[in-house]
Structure 1
Amino acid sequence: MKLALFDENQLGVITPDDDGIVDVTAALPSVPPHDADPLTAGWWRALCRDWASLAGPIRDAAAVGTPIPLSAVTLRAPALNPSKVIAAASNYRDHVAEMHDVQQRTLGTTHEWMFDFDVFLKAPSSITGPAGPIILPPDVLDAGHEIHHESELVIVVGTGGFDIPVESALEHVFGFTVGLDITVRSPADRSRRKSYNTFSPIGPFIRVRDDTFDGAAESILLTVDDEVRQSVDTSDLIISVPAIVAYASRIMTLNPGDLIFTGAPPGVGPIARGEMLVTTISGIGTMTTSVAR
């Protein structure tokens, strides 16, 4: 099943052809999301936490509802104000290799510690929806720093928890979405360079995890103005999805609705004003977002 948030943050189920959406807001047990404060987003976190009991009513509502063409709605970011956005670093070997040259070109040196897998935090306020646009900070451009795209599979946490065993980690995953980890190449702190407003586009849908989809072997393709920049399979991750969840949970409690970016594939590169970025992950969908002029 694929879910999306649309218009005034109503909850929708995407039709099998990916062309329509069925409003299932009324199937939620609490106040409809468009009447709730999106900054507290309690209904959204409850959906992620309680999916096992809510899946049936939502599935039933989708079966009897009338689809609305996607062209007639505005898709929002398919996650509301997570308590944190976690991101994995150095999780594809070919990306680790290319970063030696990227750092040498953009920083004039290399930082060996950055080539080891780890996790860091991005500001939740950096999240934006699939329509974008990505806004490049003028002061960063004036300073001559490059701003790069990083297309990534994004985990949406379900029940969450602390010190989750890797063997059961997938049970704590609600679903997956498409994400871009927009990144300034500068000497600044990693979290700062990745936390500007609009630097975490996600969408357009969440693919709910089930027995047929666990994010383990999905293709990622990113084009910039129709030029292929990144093309990889998630089976090439150094640290797998369950292992990422388990590792992060040993450091911090994962809360329902938290997001985890799983790492940048090789092929990172600069983006510029006016460009169009199209990111596709098999089994989830395609996110098209622009860079503001």
Structure 2
Amino acid sequence: MMRLAMFDKGRLGVVDGDTITDVTDQVAVPSAGPAGVLHHYIETVSLGTGRVVDPERGRRVPLTEVTLEAPLPRPGKIVGAPVNYLDHKAEMDYPTSIADLGVFLKANSSVIGPGQDVVLPYSDKRTDQEGELGVVIGRTATRVSADDALDHVFGYTCLLDITVRSGEDRSTRKSFDTFTPIGPWVVTADEIPDPDRLDLRCDVAGETRQRTSTADLIFGVRELVAYASSVMTLYPGDVIATGTPAGVGPLGHGDRVVVEIERVGRLEVGVDASRAVPYTTRPGHRRG
């Protein structure tokens, strides 16, 4: 039962209330690499080669004295669930849902952490927020059943799936650098008895845009893990973005975006449009 966070340039900590305990030295790793210490920890726990960290051992400091980072700065892959709420299907006037579309992939280079900025690429194309529950895989999953799916989940996090409303494929429109804020930590699965009964809210510039329960997912977490694993093997540290409800809308320079999920946490990021350029200046736009 833990909230595991990355902080202060790659340290691993256990969050308890308003404090964090540094447990980095309990994870035997010479170099975690760009995937980070938490990713390494999830892998070793899944293989049975690593000890569960002890939050009673380590230096405890106030959360206010550290800088939280993306808990999984470079996951192996990010699997997205398009049109996985009926109200979002209606709002966007989509004729299809996840049941027809399947899943898509986002670039793992799009991840940022709490307190960082989403950087808008285009000055004349709408870019929307999509608040979502993130599922972190904890055991290798290939063609698992829905009944067994949660046994392959390590934990849950808050996630924003930022999306440009242009004509390219979903994976392009959602994979710009900074387009997948994750955090502020990963809550281990034992703290979430039922991931399909969590309240979710997303605010932009102080106004609530999205409010839902994960009970309204078309493919719930169990079915989504089962379906995704029927297409591709899921590995420890992979992240599934479970889909967004109605209420997506345009982001602007200086906005603060907050997604808060019951029992999971509160993720806040900024928005920076200072480097946005016209859509027609993108490389290759005149070719066809």
TM-score, length basis structure 1:
0.87
Q: Does the 8 Å CA contact 1:88/1:262 hold for their aligned counterparts?
A: yes
Partner secondary structure for residue 197 of structure 2: coil
The equivalent of 1:106 in structure 2 is none
Report whether the alignment pairs 1:47 with 2:36. no
Match of 1:201, as an amino acid? P
- Tell me the alpha carbon deviations over residues 268-292 of structure 1, each in whole angstroms, 9 at most, x when there is no partner: 1111111111111110111111102
Matches of 2:266 and 2:39, distance apart in 1: 24
State the partner residue of 1:200. Answer: 180
Q: Distance in 1 between matches of 2:165 and 2:52?
A: 46
Name the counterpart of 1:79: 72
Do the aligned residues in 1 keep the contact of 2:105 with 2:171 (CA within 8 Å)? yes
Q: In 1, Cα distance between the equivalents of 2:52 and 2:229? A: 30
Q: How does 1:44-123 map to 2 (within 5 A)?
A: 44-51=38-45, 53=48, 57-58=52-53, 60=54, 62-100=55-93, 112-113=95-96, 116=100, 118-123=102-107
Partner of 1:27: 26
TM-fit CA distance, 1:113: 4.3
1:150 to 2:150 alignment:
no
Displacement after TM superposition at 1:10 (Å): 1.0
Query: Structure 1, residues 138-177: CA drift from partner, whole Å, max 9, x if none?
Result: xx22xx2210000000001111221111111101111000
Q: Deviations over 1:222-259 (max 9, x none)?
A: 11111110000111111110110110011111111011
Question: Which position in structure 1 is the counterpart of 2:222?
Answer: 242
Equivalent residue, structure 1, for 2:278: none
For 2:258, the aligned partner's letter is V
Assess if the C-alpha contact under 8 Å between 1:216 and 1:234 holds in 2: yes
Is 1:263 the equivalent of 2:229?
Answer: no
**CA shift digits 1:79-137 (9 cap, x unpaired):** 1321211000111111100011xxxxxxxxxx634674521000000001111200001
State the 1:50 CA deviation: 3.7
2:282: which partner in 1?
none
- Identical residues among aligned pairs (%): 41
Distance 2:114 2:161 in 1: 13
AA in 2 matched with 1:72 = E
Instruction: Describe the SS at the equivalent of 1:64.
Output: coil
Once residues 55 and 220 of structure 1 are traced to their aligned partners in structure 2, the CA distance between those partners, rounded to angstroms, is 33
Q: Which residue of 2 aligns with 1:7?
A: 8
SS in 2 for 1:49: helix
Aligned residues of 1:50 and 1:159 also touching (Cα < 8 A)? no
- Equivalent residue number for residue 105 of structure 1: none
What aligned pairs does 1:281-292 form with structure 2 within 5 A after superposition?
281-292=261-272
Answer 1 or 2: which has greater helix percent: 1
CA distance in 2, matches of 1:153, 1:114: 18
Q: Is the 8 A contact 2:192 2:263 kept in 1?
A: no
User: Which residue pairs with 1:37 in the alignment?
Assistant: 33
**Distance of 1:44 and 1:71 partners within structure 2:** 21
CA contact (8 A) 2:73 2:112 kept: no
**Cα gap change, 1:113 to 1:57, in 2 (>3 Å):** closer
Q: Distance in 1 between matches of 2:184 and 2:238?
A: 17
Question: Relative to structure 1, is the Cα distance of residues 205 and 269 closer, same or farther in structure 2, using a 3 angstrom cutoff?
Answer: same
Count of equivalent residues: 270
Q: What amino acid is aligned across from residue 9 of structure 1 in structure 2?
A: G
- Paired with 1:75 and 1:55, the residues of 2 have a C-alpha distance of 24
> What's the TM-score, normalizing by structure 2?
0.88
**236-245 or 116-125, which moves further after superposition?**
116-125
Q: 2: distance between equivalents of 1:30 and 1:67?
A: 21
1:227/1:88 Cα in 2 relative to 1: closer, same or farther (>3 Å)? same
8 Å CA contact 1:90, 1:118 repeated in 2: no
Q: Which of 134, 156, 165 matches 1:176?
A: 156
Q: Which of 188, 200, 215 is the equivalent residue of 2:168?
A: 188
Asked whether the equivalents of residues 154 and 189 of structure 2 are also in contact (C-alpha less than 8 Å), the reply is yes
Amino acid at match of 1:203: G
Does residue 1:160 correspond to 2:160, yes or no?
Answer: no
> How much is the aligned-residue C-alpha RMSD, in angstroms?
1.9
1:194 is displaced (CA, Å) by: 0.3
